[in-house]
Structure 1
Amino acid sequence: MQLGQSKPQSPASSPVAPGIHKEHHAQVRKCFPAFFSGEVLPSFGEYKDKPLSHRVEGFATQVFGFGVWDTLSEVCDARSMSPMKCLKVLFKIIIVLSIIVGIANWAFQSSNDSGPSALARNLAVLHPSYKGPVFLHLLSSQNTGSEYIGKIMDLYQDSFYIHDPLELVYTTVFGITANSDRILPNNVFFDAAGEFRNMSRAEHGLDLWTMDKMFHCRMTELPTAMLTNPYWSTYASKQMVNTVQYVTCLGKHGVRMDQGHESFRECHKHIQDPICPKAFSTKPKGDRCASVLFRNETFTTQDSDDLWQWPDGNHPMLKYRRNFQRYFQCIAKLEEPARKCAGWHLDGVCKNKQFRVIKTSRVTMDVAEKMLQNFPNYRVIHLFRDPRGVAFSRLQSASPFAFAPFESPDAGSLAKSYCKILYTDKITRIRLQHIYFDRVIGIFFDKFTRDVATNMEWLLMHVNLKMSKSKVSLDYAEKAKEMMVLEKDRWRNGLDAKGIKQVQRECSKLMRGMQLCMAGRRCVEYSMED
């Protein structure tokens, strides 16, 4: 199964900001974060070896991307202005427009992040006149309250909800023992030293490919190892009511899903630790099984001699070839019932739903940007939270896999990694809101929980989700609202003064940008304006 089997959307149909030449779209995206994060403008120096007129044109194109030079050059020619004088005029224009963009961004950001009125303004256009299915992506990080909002969406009649499906990607590709959600630390975005890592093209593509299959109700095309993963039984009753029948169907066809005796786990025993790692890691040992299970950007389904060829000789995992043969043979026996059940109870149910909702906690806004470019019916809700609340929530985990190798179990360390992700994602989101305004919104969990009932009503009303009238659904919705309110302020009583100061020190830049109160427990309310 090759990545990218789905036909890419033609460039003509890719959303581009009005007035921007498509060939300059990449430069615009590259430049805009500089405006919004307070960084300097792109360097003029990269054009120093070109003629002056080319330098002006190149710099103008990099900054604005929409034919500024075409208009400016006509004015310069008409007035017989020298290239240097024309360049000075251009710089004056840049300064004025930079100020305007900065002011507009400040006003946009302060009114857009949360609150009933902001939700009304942004969500009123979230559901378009488009009659086909709507792809709704709840993009968050772990411990940001997304579980509550996702579960409420799961209970609505016209939605098909998938909870954090990228766990399937990592367990299948890296051969990780699929025993709990905690095998994947929050910070798959960092290397073992705590630095942002550049995800490989294959890894990045896998995330997009998996979401594409799920949004388009083509889950029968997922690898058998994904379809029989214990993930389904773990979340079916807790988070994904539409998949309960799928798990039941697998059981009726001999694919066991009862905890501790899953058919997939029986297969996985052939390649488990010490062959494949217990948990995700960016160290060389961490992806040794990926070189077998996902070779040449293709999911491996059977053994072959080509699989074990290596540029400098035999594959380093060759000594475990027999183990992988047994694994592939075991998985192959599960394929027929898995695809039948997926066709009936995943794809079949999904296709009858107007809203396909996916919640993720391990992808960045870069993935959302690709989806926005490729699918006009895709919308993303970026959910974020006070880093003090995130740090405290993560500290409550008793799992040894809850922390990345570079993290220590203290509030400052845990908040630092979260704030790095959120700072980058927030800049990207604001940039995307200027391009895809009606399709990108931000929700600040702590502000959202000031009035859960009103905010949730706005959220669901404007995406036209109709809630199930069953008592179970209504009861959970009320319970979730209460839990969200309690969750918001747990850090105030749970974190000591030292922990609060650690978080505020590590996240000071982000917290000031979010206009968060920095007085610890003495903060009566969040100061961010509605």
Structure 2
Amino acid sequence: MIRLKYKRVIKVVTTVIALFVGVYIIYKIKSGLQPNRMPVPVVLVTYSRSGSCFVGNILKLDDSVFYVFEPLHFLKFGHRVLHFSDGSIRTLNTYLTVAERILRAWFSCQLNEIPLEYWDEEIFQTTKIQGKHIFYFKERYKREIYGKYRYPRIFRATLQLLEDMCIKSKLVIIKTIRTPIFMLNKALSELDNLKVIYLYRDPRGIIRSQRRNLYISKENTFVSLNDHAENLCARIFNDAITFAILSHYYPEKLLPLKYETFTMNLMRETKHVYNYMNLTLTARHVETLIKMTTTKERAKYYIPKNNSKELVDRWRTLVDMSFVDTVDMSCSHVYSRLGYLQISDVTMLKNISIPLYRNNDTNKQFHFGQEIPV
């Protein structure tokens, strides 16, 4: 009788243990099926010579950020037949198709979907513009990259390590001057956590800086001032309208950032942007910001912008009224929409104490001069 009871107890205990083991195994299997926590994708959309390198370097101050500098830059060379780390070759016919796929790959840290042509660009071999993760990756394997991937197995294994770093990050921040805002419409509708920061600047300051930069470059691709202004302001105007419409549908996902307001109120605006990205502006961040903007000491990994406040309107001292009048013919309709003032005469142009933008208290809202129908 005692032996029978003992056997029953053993059976019950065995059944309970088996049950717990089964539940544990099911839990582990389900846990394995759960998608990894992915970083929040943030896109800084802007234009060349808009202060975007400066702003981008402030956004990447936090160690939890995986920062990507101009991932679409290589497409300017006309790449449409693209090679990938798995040995595949794909032909994509349009810029928008290629660009959207590349951005999506960065959003989800699928670095095997980034074309090898991207890794070939020597322009990114500096800590001052590129994120530290990608910089260190390319520094370690530059011989392999520029040797045209003679050891693809090693390259893929190392690329996987970089991908793991991307996945473990809190944010993936992509700075791009080659992404029209309408191109993000689909991603905004499909990705709940996507954030878009639209950095804009007085078109007159942008054009003056672009003209100087293009004239001194080897390419010297600057067309006539009138044509250049017309092309740029047409894009800005379209972006502004699209941004207003998308802000109506996704108010929590889009943040406007006026360069002048950001630079003149750097600490306050940086804190506001960090809050938007769910980051905390720490004492270390503030110390680096001070080094970047008020001293000649170069903060490691970042582009200094000494006397940043003085540089906001410096372009006004370098142009004349004929420049202003020419740009106005193509851009005057953009000023009011973005909150800038038209220059009436040379006195207003040269008197830096007269601001050329509305003194909005904060960048929290996009202050359009006109109401956009939606």
Residues 316-362 of structure 1 deviation map (CA, whole Å, 9 limit, x = unaligned): xxxxxxxxxxxxxxx35253333222222x21211111111001001
Alpha-carbon displacement from aligned partner over 1:58-82 (angstroms, at most 9, x marks no partner): xxxxxxxxxxxxxxxxxxxxxxxxx
Q: How many Å separate the matches in 2 of 1:441 and 1:500? A: 29
Tell me if the contact between 1:137 and 1:359 (Cα under 8 Å) persists in the aligned partners.
yes
TM-score by length of 1: 0.51
**Given the alignment, which residue of 144, 147, 152 partners 1:335?**
152
Quote how far apart the aligned CAs of 1:168 are.
3.0
Is 1:208 paired with 2:208? no
Q: Distance in 2 between matches of 1:413 and 1:169?
A: 23
Q: CA deviation at 1:249?
A: 2.4
Matched, 1:255 2:144: yes
So what's the TM-score if we normalise by structure 2? 0.71
Deviations 1:82-104 (A, max 9, x none): xxxxxxxxxxxxxxxxxxxxxxx
Partner of 1:148: 54
Q: In structure 2, what is the Cα distance between the partners aligned to 1:144 and 1:243?
A: 23
The higher relative CO (CA closer than 8 Å, separation ≥ 6) is in: 1
Unpaired runs of 5+ in structure 2? Answer: 1-36, 83-91, 295-303, 344-348, 361-374
Aligned-pair distance for 1:175? 8.2
With over 3 angstroms needed to count, the CA separation of the structure-2 counterparts of 1:395 and 1:229, relative to structure 1, is closer
Contact 1:452 1:481 in 2 (8 A): no
Please state if 1:521 is matched with 2:350: yes
Any residues of structure 2 matched to 1:23-34 within 5 Å, and which? none
Is it true that 1:421 corresponds to 2:227 in the alignment? no
Q: Does 1:453 align with 2:270?
A: no
The CA deviation at 1:501 is 1.7
Q: How far apart are 1:442 and its partner, in Å?
A: 1.4
Contact 1:168 1:229 in 2 (8 A): yes
| Counterparts of 2:179 and 2:137, CA distance in 1 | 26
2:160 aligned with 1:160: no
Indicate if the aligned counterparts of 1:416 and 1:507 stay in contact, CA closer than 8 A.
yes
Q: 1:473 to 1:241 in 2, by over 3 A?
A: farther
For each residue in 1:349-389, what CA deviation from the matched residue of structure 2 results, as whole angstroms up to 9, or x when unmatched?
11111111001001101112122022111111111110110
Question: Which residue does the alignment assign to 2:42?
Answer: 136
Q: Is the 8 A contact 2:38 2:167 kept in 1?
A: no
Q: Deviations over 1:96-138 (max 9, x none)?
A: xxxxxxxxxxxxxxxxxxxxxxxxxxxxxxxxxxx85211100
Of 240, 243, 257, the residue aligned with 2:131 is 240
Cα root mean square deviation, aligned: 2.8
Whichever residue aligns with residue 153 of structure 1, its letter is L
> What is aligned with 2:300?
none
Aligned to 2:115: 223
Structure 1 unmatched runs, 5+: 1-130, 177-199, 257-261, 264-330
Q: Measured at CA, do residues 381 and 401 of structure 1 come closer, stay the same or move farther in structure 2, by a change above 3 Å?
A: same
Secondary structure of 2:316's aligned partner: helix
1:134–1:356 contact (8 Å) kept in structure 2 = yes
Aligned length: 297
The answer to whether the 8 Å contact 1:380/1:441 transfers is yes
User: CA distance change for structure 1 residues 385 and 372 in 2, over 3 Å: closer, same or farther?
Assistant: same
Query: Taking structure 1 as reference, are residues 394 and 175 closer, same or farther at Cα in structure 2, changes over 3 Å only?
Result: farther
What is the identity, as a one-letter code, of the residue corresponding to 2:144? Answer: V
Match of 1:442, SS state, is: strand
Aligned residue runs from structure 1 range 16-55, under 5 A: none
Deviation string 1:233-267 (CA, Å, 9 cap, x unpaired) is 2x44433222232023204xx426xxxxx43xxxx
Distance 1:511 1:218 in 2: 40
> In the aligned structure 2, how far is the partner of 1:172 from the partner of 1:527?
38
C-alpha distance in 1 between matches for 2:261 and 2:70: 24
Change (3 A) 1:435 1:351: same
Superposed, 1:366-515 pairs within 5 Å as 366-397=182-213, 398-401=216-219, 403=221, 407-408=223-224, 410=225, 412-466=226-280, 469=284, 473-474=288-289, 476-478=291-293, 480=304, 482-515=306-339
Paired with 2:291 and 2:230, the residues of 1 have a C-alpha distance of 33
* Aligned equivalent of 2:86: none
Identity %: 20
Preserved CA contact (<8 Å) 2:80 2:93: no
For residues 254-304 of structure 1, the C-alpha deviation after alignment (integer angstroms, 9 at most, x for no partner) is 426xxxxx43xxxxxxxxxxxxxxxxxxxxxxxxxxxxxxxxxxxxxxxxx
Alignment deviations for residues 444-463 of structure 1 (CA, whole Å, 9 cap, x no partner) = 21232221221112111332
C-alpha distance after superposition, 1:5-53 (max 9, x if no partner): xxxxxxxxxxxxxxxxxxxxxxxxxxxxxxxxxxxxxxxxxxxxxxxxx
Q: CA deviation at 1:486?
A: 3.1
